[in-house]
Amino acid sequence: MSYPPHSMSSGSRGSRRTLEFGRTYVVRPKGRHQATIVWLHGLGDNGSSWSQVLDSLPLPNIKWICPTAPTRPVTLLGGFSCTAWFDVGDLSEDGPDDWENLDASAAHIANLLSAEPADVKVGIGGFSMGAATALYSAVCWALGKYGNGYPYPVNLRAVMGLSGWLPASRSLRSKIEGSSEAARRAAFLPILLYHGTCDDLVPYNYGERSARYLSSAGFRYLTFKSFDGIGHYTVPREMSDLSNWIAARLGLEGSRS
């Protein structure tokens, strides 16, 4: 592992403080444990709010792990401190990216999944900044390593992102395209992306562009779906569609429709 499971440096913005991950919430499976998914909240949120949403989904054979990001100053918010998986200044494809803390969060997520039984399928999902971190993890899985070169340790079976974006999309696409092995691995990972057309926080075109970059990099089993008139939030039909996709992709038995 490249980082300890519960701490991380605040990293590339020059601070030397050590930031601690917050509380992790777990939703136990109500049926036979077939899959475990780490679900990542958005900027300023915490794992508790999503654990309640996920507990209501008709997926009795999934264990949900909902960690809470460290509290850190966020450049996009003028330095205001809140829970965030990494620092972000803007969402452009060439904007500065907090590689150190993207790696640290991806490693923390992998640590949570590495303890799962070998016969349990594992995946990562998230909303907004959580979706961005999930997509970064997907790229690390395809490359077989984090951005810092340490090996990526878990075998992802599915990645989901709601209202998110791929950080440093152009750079990460180039890394995958430059490795035939990474492109081969990418071709086998199902990815689901949803985005509201009226999202005023993470604009729709950012999500659409990220999906295009991932597809061109070799992620062949990527589904991008737009929700007309929806802003930066989820709606019941989106969560229902997400549940159906997860059950189908992970081959779960006994899921309620």
- For 133-171, the pLDDT digits (tens) are 999 999 999 999 999 999 999 999 999 999 999 988 878
pLDDT given at position 2: 32
**Residue whose C-alpha is closest to residue 41's, from 53, 33, 30:** 53
pLDDT digits (tens, 9 = 90+) for 15-42: 445 679 999 999 999 999 999 999 999 9
Residues 208 and 248: beta-carbon distance below 8 Å: no
Strands (E), the chain: 7-9, 18-20, 25-27, 35-40, 62-66, 71-74, 80-83, 121-127, 156-162, 191-196, 222-227
Q: Does domain 7-249 have CATH number 3.40.50.1820?
A: yes
What sign results for the dihedral spanned by CA atoms 201, 203, 209, 214? positive
